[in-house]
Amino acid sequence: MRVLRPLVWRIVMVAGLIAGLPATAQDNHTSIVVVDLNRLVNETEMGAMLFAEIEDRGLELQAENDRIFAELRSEEQSLAALRPSMSVEDFQVAANGFDARVQQIRTQQDEKQRAYEQMRATGSERIVQSALPILNEIMTRRGADVVLQTGVVIVARPQVDITDEAIVMLDLMAAQRTPDQP
pLDDT in tens, 57-107: 999 999 999 999 999 999 999 999 999 999 999 999 999 999 999 999 999
Tens-digit pLDDT profile for residues 123-137: 989 999 999 999 999
pTM of the predicted structure, to 2 decimals: 0.61
Cβ neighbour number for residue 72 with a 10 Å cutoff = 15
45, 174 contact by CB (below 8 A): yes
CA 101 – CA 31 distance, rounded (Å):
61
Residue spans of beta strands (DSSP E) within 85-174: 146-149
